[in-house]
Amino acid sequence: MTDDWWQNRRVFVTGHTGFMGGWLCSYLLRKGAIVSGYALSPLTNPSFFDVVLLGDRLSKSTIGDVRDLDRLSTAMTDARPEIIFHLAAQPLVLTAHGDPVETFETNVMGTVNVMQAARKLEDLKAMLLVTTDKVYQNKNWHWPYRENDPLGGKEPYSASKAASEHVITAYANSYFPHLGIAALRVGNIIGGGDWSANRLLPDAVRCFAAGEPLTLRNPHSTRPWQHVLDPLPGYLALAKALAQNGTAFSGGWNFASAGADCQPVEIVARQLAQIWGQGADVQVAQTFEVFEEKLLALDSSKAHAELGWSPNWRLPDALSALAAWYKSHAEGADMWAMTQTQIAQFESDGSQHGQ
């Protein structure tokens, strides 16, 4: 399914070898965009990037570090993008705890470099930088956070992402007074093709496929779970609005799941185990020492009111799609075809829901 506005639109995606970056590129290609990517080599084996042969499908795929300003700037200038999506990051809470220096370098200075390199571009119409739901100063209350709530961070990952948003604001005000620039805050993204370590659903898939029990470290931590496809129509709608209306749509935007899909880790794990079937078992660890926030939810009323965006797949749909994707991969299926099939089903379901 193409979209006339995106047809032949030049788009530059950092982090295209990652899980969400790969799905975003696949979605953009389906819309008819000309997509270039810049990122490190895939950090896992297997990876979404490799199993769907994404590198062969892009206009150009550059392997590089966002901390390398010269290489990033050359790749960006060569691509002449009209739209930039910045997703390259160190995205794991436990990795950040173990290596805070690299996390701050990648998430903060990487964002500085993307915005610095973008200053040279003549055709740029909009820039969207994906952060996280964890940028908010978390008070562990039951009310979802809105875009005007204060930013914060009690551990290296969330602090690095909150700091990157201050970079975005500073560069937008200082060097891009008329360009539409947005920070995108999303919940816990799930779906096929994520093989990261120390993430609930990839860990679950590995355990279930091997017939081993999944051990939960923080079973009561509550997160806004959503399929990786769910925020993408919102991203594209916002990019178009930024390109057409400039700073009127600039700022922070939440794209989160429905309130009922903000669930504790244990419930999500047991739901996936039930969907997975034979070989799936869940148990709870007795102790764990790394700090993680216990309760977190986002309010996406702004995106619904101004962009007409709302979540499409509910949590059971997302978990079913995730399980189907991984099982297809294990069976040796054509995973580009499987990915496009899931995108088509997602769009079909969205049309039925009135999106």
pTM of the model: 0.95
User: What are the pLDDT digits (tens) for 8-53?
Assistant: 999 999 999 999 999 999 999 999 999 999 999 999 999 999 999 9
Q: Give dist(CA 237, CA 303) in Å, integer.
A: 10
Q: Is pLDDT of 263 > 50?
A: yes
Q: Give dist(CA 122, CA 160) in Å, integer.
A: 30
Q: Give dist(CA 118, CA 122) in Å, integer.
A: 9
Mean pLDDT, rounded, for 317-324 = 98
Angle between helices 315-330 and 200-210 in degrees, nearest 10: 50
Give 108-176 as a DSSP string: IIHHHHHHHHHTT-SS--EEEEE--GGGB-----SSPB-TTSPB--SSHHHHHHHHHHHHHHHHHHHH-
Cβ neighbors of 211 (< 8 A, separation 6 or more) are 279
Confidence of residue 321 (pLDDT cuts 50, 70, 90): very high
Tell which residue, 160, 111, 168, 162, has the closest CA to residue 136. Answer: 162
Which domains can be identified in the chain, with CATH numbers? 10-191+225-256+290-313 (3.40.50.720)
Mean pLDDT, rounded, for 115-128 = 98
- Residue 102: phi and psi, rounded to 5, are -65, -35
Residue labelled with tokens 């997302």: 318
Residue labelled with tokens 């910045």: 86
Q: Which token pair is 29?
A: 């290609």
Mean pLDDT, rounded, for 122-138 = 94
Q: Give the pLDDT of residue 351.
A: 66
Give 76-94 as a DSSP string: HHHH--SEEEE--S---HH
Q: Give the pLDDT of residue 1.
A: 46
Residue 295 is given by DSSP the state B
Cβ neighbors of 106 (< 8 A, separation 6 or more) are 66, 67, 88, 89, 90, 160
